[in-house]
Amino acid sequence: MRRFANIRANIHANIHANISTNISANIRANIHANIHANIHANISANIRANIRANIRANIRANIRANIRANIRANIRANIRANIRANISANIHANIRANIHAVLQFEFQTVLKSPALVFDASRRFFIRFSDSSNLKRHGCAHCGKRFAQSGSLKVHMTVHTDCKQFRCAYCGKTFISGSHLWRHVTVHGGEKRFTPTFQ
């Protein structure tokens, strides 16, 4: 009986020892596995959360920076374009206004012509119907008056004895081309040559 008691005691001791070692080994393994799993899960969750937060923060910062840069660039470009357009428009308007003012001043004041007046609104000259103002070019020698300066120049050849038109046949000189053409009919009856000038 004692022998059975010893065997029983040994079996119980072995069973208890095996059970306790197995239980402790299993508990330790489970604890280690749980700890490792929790650590890995926490680390991966933290890494993912940090990555997402960093990506979102970087995306927001980049979007804000790009929006600000684009807004500044667009504002500068628009300001420069508007300034250039306004400057060119003002320059053109000022040039036109100055040209019109100068033309009006020149043709009304300097020339002192009552027969012609520059109309700035319609941009052309208007002629008065007063016949006394039409002949404004006068000869200094005889007082004869002419409507055009070219007529006065032709008339001045009468006083200066300057005859520019010469007949190619006889060498006679005339004060105007029309007088020469009338003379050419004496030589051949036809106006068939170009007159020569002195």
Task: Per-residue pLDDT tens, the chain, 198 aa: give them.
Answer: 666 777 777 777 777 777 777 777 778 888 888 888 888 888 888 888 888 888 888 888 888 988 888 888 888 888 888 888 888 888 888 888 777 777 666 555 545 554 455 455 555 555 544 444 567 888 888 888 888 888 888 788 788 777 788 888 888 888 778 888 888 888 876 555 555 555
Q: What is the pLDDT of residue 19?
A: 74
| Domain locations in the chain as residue ranges | 135-197
Is the separation of the CB atoms in 165 and 173 below 8 Å?
yes
Q: What is the pLDDT of residue 7?
A: 78
Q: What is the pLDDT of residue 129?
A: 45
Closest CA to 97 of 127, 121, 126: 121
For residues 61 and 67, give the distance between their C-alpha atoms in angstroms, rounded to a whole number. 10
Q: What is the pLDDT of residue 134?
A: 66
Q: Tokens at residue 192, please?
A: 């068939």
Q: What is the pLDDT of residue 141?
A: 83
Q: For the CA atoms of the chain, what is the radius of gyration?
A: 59
DSSP codes of every residue in 106-137? IIIIIS--SSEEEETTTTEEEE---GGGT--E
Q: What is the pLDDT of residue 139?
A: 87
Strands 165-166 and 196-197: antiparallel
Q: Tokens at residue 197, please?
A: 């000038």
Q: What is the pLDDT of residue 110?
A: 45
Q: Tokens at residue 89, please?
A: 């428009």
In the three-class reduction of DSSP (H, G, I as helix; E, B as strand; rest coil), residue 195 is classed as: coil
Q: Which CATH architecture has domain 135-197?
A: 2-Layer Sandwich (3.30)
Q: What is the pLDDT of residue 131?
A: 47
